[in-house]
Amino acid sequence: MDHVEYDEKYTEQFVLLAYLNRVRGSVIRTAEGVSEEDLRRPQVPSGTSLLGIVHHLTGVEHHWFQRVFLGETIEADKSMIVPDDIAAADVVEAYQRACQRSDEIVHATADLSVRAAIPNPGEDARDSLRVILAHMVEETARHAGHADILREQIDGTTGL
């Protein structure tokens, strides 16, 4: 989906998920066709790698949708460091599963005004699902842009 047009038949939920899934797909495409070594290799002084971005976004999905919105007692690893014993394909698969679970949570909630079960740690207010979705579009798009730059540094590929 290259462009999402909003009209009366599309719900707010549909539009937010369409844009979120668009940038999620961009992250996954950016990691495709790259060797395991290149996926893990830091490309910038901060140590960020393509695989690290995917790993981080997996933790972000778990954090916002399962931990904060549902109130599940889980630890979400939001670091950019991927343990050496986890294969790149497993990291990407974990991200895809996390995204699918997040979408299920959104689809099971008819009203985007529903508040999260708990506040985001360090904050006082409980965000609505609408706010969480908007934040996830922003967070994922930001990292998709980072991933584009890292991929270009690896092999010159752009526009995924």
Asked if residues 113 and 130 have their Cβ atoms less than 8 Å apart, the reply is yes
Q: For the chain, how big is the Rg over CA atoms in Å?
A: 16
Mean pLDDT of 114-140: 98
DSSP class of residue 113? T
Give the pTM: 0.93
- At residue 14 the predicted structure's pLDDT band, cuts being 50, 70 and 90, is very high
Q: What is the mean pLDDT of residues 50-66?
A: 98
- CA distance between the termini of the chain: 13
CATH number of the domain located at residue range(s) 12-155 in this protein? 1.20.120.450
For the chain, which residues make up each domain, given as ranges? 12-155
Whether pLDDT at 6 is above 90: no
- 39: Cβ contacts below 8 Å, ≥ 6 apart: 31, 49, 50, 51, 88
